[in-house]
Amino acid sequence: MNTESDKSKPTIGFIGMGHMGTPMTRRLSEAGYRLTVHDRIDEKARKAEQWGATVARTPKELAAGSRVVMSSVTNDAVQQEAMFGPDGALAGVHGGSMMIDLSTVSPGAASTRRRWRKASR
């Protein structure tokens, strides 16, 4: 469902299509947001095509085409790779990007804000 007013909504990239990411992306799509998704398991990401999402090959590609990047991954190692790896989201962010992390990670991994700022410069 795309209307004229939906065009003013930011594009959203969503990393992690598990128990939280899948229903969240479905609801965002129903609300008219343009979505790009990525998951380590390609089949999980492909399910989101049913409700209009585009599938990105890497988090970097996802971030390059999104204004808002949301992440909901299962552990510290996955978050590390998805954000800071060579093809991680921070390699693709641009001016005006917003990062929202909803991941199930340790307090240390969750408090990497300074590191994110430094990596995105």
Query: The pTM is what?
Result: 0.86
Pick one of 3.40.50.720, 2.60.120.1310, 3.40.50.300, 3.20.20.70 as the CATH number of 4-119.
Answer: 3.40.50.720
Q: Find the mean pLDDT for residues 33-50.
A: 96
Strands (E), 19-104: 35-38, 54-55, 68-71, 98-101
pLDDT in tens, 67-105: 999 999 999 999 999 999 999 999 999 998 999 999 989
Every domain of the chain and the residues it spans: 4-119
**pLDDT for 6 beyond 80:** no
**pLDDT for 4 beyond 70:** no
pLDDT of residue 44: 95
Between residues 52 and 3, which one has the greater pLDDT?
Answer: 52
Query: What Cα–Cα distance (Å) separates residue 15 from each residue in 60, 107, 114?
Result: 10, 20, 21
